[in-house]
Structure 1
Amino acid sequence: MTKLILNRRRFLGTAAATGAALASPAYLRRASAQSGGEVNIWTYNNFVPEAFKEQFEAETGIKVNVRLVDDQGKQFNLLAAEQPNPTVDIMTVAGHRFLQFIDSELLAPLDTDRLTNWNKINPTFSESDWSTINGNKWGAPILSGMEVLSYNSEIVSEEEALTWDTLFSEKYKGQTAYIIQDMMSIVMLMKGYDGNMVAYLDDPDKAAEIVEEAKQFLIEKKPLVRKYYDGGAEFQQMMVNQDIVLGHSWNGPAAALINDGFPLGMAIPREGSYGFVYTYNIANNAPNADNAYTFLDAILSSPEIGAAMTKASGFISTYKDASNYLTDLEKKSTSFPDEQLANLQFFRAEANEMKYGLVDPAVEAIKAA
């Protein structure tokens, strides 16, 4: 096995350095008359570019407080516990989890009339079916991603990465990692089922059987995995340290490694996978709603900001023309061959209550097994 030598300090500093590329301060001029205060944001690592944050604070007087999250379920539980007086103004919710938050009255409908820069979002995302529920918009799409099989290309072959079976092979025993909850959907897909579980809305017994089958599969394969992980930064560090050579990941953290020069490959295996869209949402009863809208309008205002978010996170920007501000390598790390894209479908929300009611206990059972 080839021993990779990578400057870890340089890698870990990449995200911070990336944000420094934001150029003109003109995009925030409309917000410069604000009276200050604060806005509280729960989001993923690198979703608020540091250079944007500093400039926004300097020109509006609004202090941006970012609390990092790594799991939609944990965020839901925390927000539910705080209502009706949440401490957060803006959070990052994946589109396929909207219904869970909306049905629990945790989100406020988004007033797009207050966002002069709404038209800066590609309508493929801003006007899509999943983004409108009960006649309202519920979030501003900012980044799009997908579940991929990521691999150290000096050790794992491109052909091996074209099937999820490789992730569960004896060959790479103790050198793999994945997020259990996400893998539950993929395992269902591997076995020929609807991982969204929409097909089983009228047959909850069948849904329970499928989840049980996926659970037993992952328990059986548990001796092969090195670690179940939660966040993208942990996946990156395991790859850099060569603790793992193969893993399920989101494409964003994987792309960030590729752009830093790490020999990583990504594939959408032939059995299929799922895509998703991250959005910025305003909490119901947000304590600083006006500042939240000021922040949203500012961060949507420029394709350069969208590109900075892609550079830092590795996810695909939803902003019009953001790709014009990416290098050829950055564009490459956020694209896939057409034959692989044909294997991709998007997460859907219709069956989420049933799905996660079954999947969440299964995940805990796998951890405990």
Structure 2
Amino acid sequence: MTKLIYDRRRFLGTAAMTGVALASPAYLRRASASGGEVNIWTYNDFVPAAFKDQFEAETGIKVNVRLVDDQGKQFNLLAAEAPNPTVDIMTVAGHRFLQFIDSELLAPLDTDRLANWGNINPTFSESDWATINGNKWGAPILSGMEVLSYNTELVSPEEVTSWDALFSEKFKGQTAYIIQDMMSIIMLKMGYDGNMVAYMDDPEKAAAIVEEAKQFLIEHKPLVRKYYDSGAEIQQMFVNQDIALGHSWNGPAAALINDGFPLAMTIPEEGSYGFVYTYNIANNAPNVDNAYTFINAILASPEIGAAMTRASGFISTYKDASNYLTDLEKKSTAFPDEELARLQFFRAEANKMKYELVDPAVEAIKAA
């Protein structure tokens, strides 16, 4: 089969082209043009380009975006800067809250300063994971899940009903995954609790389970083409046809689907995990007032939520955001009920124990 040649910018550049009037002009005109800046660490396409331009023009606040691709790296960088961070807003996944909170890296979120807080679907803003120690710690903006993505011109749906497809000889050298995320999935595949909550009182069993998952991935290392870190990486690998299938987040996969790439996603029969991304304010943020102005502005309307979905591929947490998506965009963020029934959300209760075990295991897999 002739290798397809695609310009990745054609796939990823549409977000800026399709979202012209994203923010609420009435809101922004009421915002004080205080000037200064706001520093944000976030993932690619989480701040729509049109929104950023309008926000800067109407508030006088310069938005400095530093792209991140991994929660652990972001934690380490923030911890290195504490107690005087250079960042104001981070994008932390809800299941990683405790790690940041226990290290005093996040400030409790004052939702009274966010007039647009009510625009978030309460399924996300008022869920159990969103409140810790009586405080909110982040504004939910996008939700996602770990999926098995595949090129529909190279792989059939029948071949990807199980996570085993990633470790089959048929697709040797044509797969990719994020090791840390795959550790949880492999534990789930083996019949264990990938959140490790079930083993909080049995650290020896927890260690044995992580060791078993680690050995599985080391044993199957010759089959994988690449361990990757960011959504942009796996998008490029699919576009270049370096891989035929891979573990991914649904967002980067949906972005390719929406741009016409022959890709599909599934939640395999063993199940998978979901997560929610939030905007959080750093403890001792240097520009805290501007941080609240930014978060309130980006929560201003469902059109902004739809633009974030369109750009990132992740599912918006905003009320009525889907009303501003095309039929294809809606389809790329939907899954059959039987697959959704296999999904559970990442949980944070055992994170300290889990990542103390998983992080060294990940490094051992890379080094093997």
Q: Is the 8 A contact 2:12 2:311 kept in 1?
A: no
For residue 88 of structure 2, what is the aligned residue in structure 1?
89
Structure 2 unmatched ranges of 5 or more: none
Q: Is the 8 A contact 1:106 1:283 kept in 2?
A: yes
For residue 222 of structure 2, what is the aligned residue in structure 1?
223
Identity %: 88
Structure 2 letter corresponding to 1:185: S
Q: Is the 8 A contact 1:2 1:154 kept in 2?
A: no
For residue 97 of structure 2, what is the aligned residue in structure 1?
98
Deviation readout 1:157-191 (Å, 9 max, x if unpaired): 11112110011100000000000000000000000
Distance 2:148 2:346 in 1: 17
Matches of residues 152-301 of structure 1 in structure 2 within 5 Å? 152-301=151-300
Distance 2:91 2:262 in 1: 30
Structure 2 letter corresponding to 1:81: A
Q: Is the 8 A contact 1:18 1:312 kept in 2?
A: no
Distance 2:175 2:65 in 1: 31
Q: Is the 8 A contact 2:95 2:346 kept in 1?
A: yes
Distance 2:21 2:146 in 1: 28
Secondary structure (helix, strand or coil) at the match of 2:246 reads strand
Structure 1 letter corresponding to 2:30: R
Matched, 1:332 2:323: no
For residue 42 of structure 1, what is the aligned residue in structure 2?
41
Matched, 1:311 2:310: yes
For residue 26 of structure 1, what is the aligned residue in structure 2?
26
Pairwise CA distance, 1:297: 0.5
Distance 2:170 2:5 in 1: 23
Structure 2 letter corresponding to 1:172: F
Deviation readout 1:172-221 (Å, 9 max, x if unpaired): 00000000000000000000000000000000000000000000000001
Distance 1:195 1:174 in 2: 26
Structure 1 unmatched ranges of 5 or more: none
Q: Is the 8 A contact 1:6 1:262 kept in 2?
A: no
Distance 2:289 2:134 in 1: 22
Distance 1:207 1:226 in 2: 29
For residue 16 of structure 2, what is the aligned residue in structure 1?
16
For residue 113 of structure 2, what is the aligned residue in structure 1?
114
Matched, 1:55 2:54: yes
Distance 1:263 1:283 in 2: 40
Deviation readout 1:321-368 (Å, 9 max, x if unpaired): 000000000000000000000110000000000000000000000000
Distance 2:285 2:9 in 1: 38
Q: Is the 8 A contact 1:21 1:308 kept in 2?
A: no
User: RMSD in angstroms over aligned alpha carbons?
Assistant: 1.1
Distance 1:346 1:367 in 2: 26
Deviation readout 1:279-311 (Å, 9 max, x if unpaired): 000000000000000001000010000000000
Deviation readout 1:213-255 (Å, 9 max, x if unpaired): 0000000010000000000000000000000010000000000
Secondary structure (helix, strand or coil) at the match of 1:159 reads helix
Q: Normalising by structure 1, report the TM-score.
A: 0.98
For residue 131 of structure 1, what is the aligned residue in structure 2?
130
Distance 2:191 2:163 in 1: 13
Structure 1 letter corresponding to 2:194: G
Pairwise CA distance, 1:24: 5.7
Secondary structure (helix, strand or coil) at the match of 1:42 reads strand
Secondary structure (helix, strand or coil) at the match of 2:84 reads coil
**What number of residue pairs does the alignment pair up?**
368
Structure 1 letter corresponding to 2:232: A
